[in-house]
A and B are shown apart, each in its own frame.
Chain A
Amino acid sequence: MNTPDGSPITDHRSPSYSTFGYPTNLLGPGQTYESVNQTIAEIPLSRPPMSWRFGFFVAFLLLMMFLVAITWLFAKGVGVWGVNIPVAWGFAIVNFVWWVGIAHAGTFISAILLLLFQHWRTAINRFTEAMTLFAVACAGLMPLLHLGRPWVFYWLFPYPDTMGVWPQFRSPLVWDVFAVGTYFTISLLFWYLGLVPDLATVRDRAKKLWQKKIYGFFALGWRNSASHWQRHQIAYLLLAGLATPLVLSVHSVVSFDFSVAIVPGWHSTIFPPYFVAGAIYSGFAMSLNIIIPVRKVYHLEHLITERYLNNMANIMLATGMIVAYGYFIEAFMAWYSGDIFERYMMMNRAFGPYGWVFWTLMVFNVLVPQALWSARIRRNTVSLFIVALFINIGMWIERFVIVITSLNRDFTPSAWHMFSPTKWDWMTLFGSVGLFLTLQFLFIRLVPMISISETRELIAEPEKATIK
């Protein structure tokens, strides 16, 4: 069933739904190799639409605000933030955990779904891998900014220094350095390795010499040879296998930062699994918040079909239930432990001065996502976008609740103190969003944002693109 020039036709209708109302197709009707190449590879080669320019402008303004916030911080020290004793970990750590969490969906989609032969990763893996990189970059900045003397951050690395001192390898904070560093490196390699064949496609389609040269440089001379593909596929699969335990380990290590300490509200064995589920939850929410507008602006509905969005919504619903279970178990264990500090922490969290934050969290992260049970809401991009936005904010609030309410009232009432963020705290938070969005806009503009070679594979083997 081939057209005269040899490209197979996908003949399934779109959208079509399975018995349970799930969309079944990964590709819109009538896609050919050439239509896919054209749609995806032309975006980096042509001028950006107005909405891109406007979005980039706003993101860049936020990035400049970040620059101001950081400059002021470096000039004055961490005292410009609202942190003090006992809340010595403020927004920086909240932002750190939030950004690392967002990163996780990228690796989940690109690695775990690859190992499970889930073809619905095809059109979204490049996006979410890029999102992983940029989110980890934002996350990695936060602890550095929080250092009293950020210029000696390299003391965290094991190098034979003149002081004869080594890092304390038993400390979760040092584990963090290695966990996040490895995570960033592996994510970058994984992303770039997947990108090389697509850069070759852009190189071969480019009309202008300078475009050919730039994309040719980054395509490394890729020739699509069978032996290249063989090593590429093995390396890609192995990197996926290696990144899979990373997804689980990185956020587990992040949760150790808390759970290894004896602070009530932190010292809990539920933390690693609950953090990982929350990470995937927020990551999928952020992916949807990015993918839905991009899909609309660049008219990618026939490549990122309803089935992708529906599956992502389902994952959010599932991980959201795990997170809700985590909230419940935290409260239950606080009561069941019989420990007065744990019990008081839980009472304080729900009914203390930050109680309204806790209940906002319950609404945003537990109540609102229940809307995803409805297929109509999952299929409507606007309502899905709104639910995802709630989850994103909710997950940030969750980290605020964990960090701030646990710290502000610990063992000794005389040491209790409220935390209130300053404008520099807020500027750092929104500024880091600016950094993330700026990088995301540049990514959309400069490289093929959907894996072209994997989409071509779906066209060559249409049975992979649809479920019965």
Chain B
Amino acid sequence: MSQPYGLLAEFSNHEDLLRAAKEAYAAGFRKMDAFAPFPVEGLPEALGKKTRLPLLVLIGGIIGGVGAYYMEWYANAVSYVINIGGRPIHSWPAFIPITFELTVLGAGLTAFFFSLGLSGLPRPHHPLFNVPEFERASQDRFFLCIETRDSKFNSDQTRAFLKSLNPLSVAEVPE
């Protein structure tokens, strides 16, 4: 019998969940997550969640843009030069549209794949899906889960703490 994954408290609306998340953070819990059927403003911050996604997207965009310009310059000014009426070979204004497009493409691909990848998706299986009520996290219920790997986790005390937040129910998440 392995250790359970954590304890899951169920709430009926996003205001209660946000309050509970703030209290849990204040009580010193860190390895926890909240679940809501829509993005609740301020919830990730209340749980102390941070992400470096914007920086990665910036880097992706720069790689796309610099790569595009380099490609155009190399192709049309170095590798395969066509002199048309003595016009400049390195005609940079004509290279801007594609540089712009590939900047957007680089940044967009980074935003998409890293937003999912950093969240650990795709991942079809997760202990939380073992809790029957959890189906409603994508519909009309709000959940706060404190994981057993949190250093402050103690089965009885954490359960009592979650109960003190006035949830609809508290359930154990089996591993």
Contact = CB atoms under 8 A, between A and B. Distances in A.
Contact of B54 (A2, A224, A234, A460): A234
B38 A453 contact: yes
Contacts, number: 205
Given A172-B97, A221-B126, A245-B104, 13 more contacts: A165-B80, A167-B75, A178-B97, A182-B105, A186-B108, A224-B138, A226-B21, A226-B35, A229-B40, A229-B44, A234-B53, A235-B112, A243-B108
A204 B109 contact: no
A147 B33 CA distance: 54
Interface in A148-192: 158, 164-170, 172, 174-175, 178-179, 181-182, 185-186, 189-190, 192
Contact residues of A: prevailing secondary structure:
helix
Interface residues of B, number: 64
B104 A182 contact: yes
14 contacts: A6-B13, A7-B13, A175-B97, A178-B101, A181-B105, A203-B138, A204-B135, A221-B121, A223-B126, A224-B138, A225-B35, A242-B111, A243-B104, A453-B37
Select the residue from A170, A205, A217 with max chain B CB neighbours within 10 A.
A170
A352 B13 CA distance: 67
Tell me what chain B mostly uses at the interface: helix, strand, loop, or mixed: helix
B140 interface: yes
How many chain A residues sit at the interface, stated as a range, is 35 or more
B111 A253 contact: no
B100 interface: yes
Contact of B95 (A158, A169, A239, A460): A169
A193 to B, nearest CB: 6
Contacts of B35: 223-226
Interface string A423-464: 000000000000000000000000000000110110010000
Contacts of A164: 79-80
A220 B100 contact: no
Given A189-B112, A228-B119, A253 B97 contact: yes
Interface string A349-360: 000000000000
A47 interface: no
A370 B39 CA distance: 41
Interface in A278-298: none
Interface centre among B79, B82, B140 (most CB of A within 10 A): B140
Contacts of A221: 121-126
A34 B13 CA distance: 13
Contacts of B107: 238, 242
Interface in B108-130: 108-109, 111-112, 114-116, 118-119, 121-126, 128-129
B71 A227 contact: no
A231 B51 contact: yes
Contacts of B104: 182, 186, 242-243, 245-246
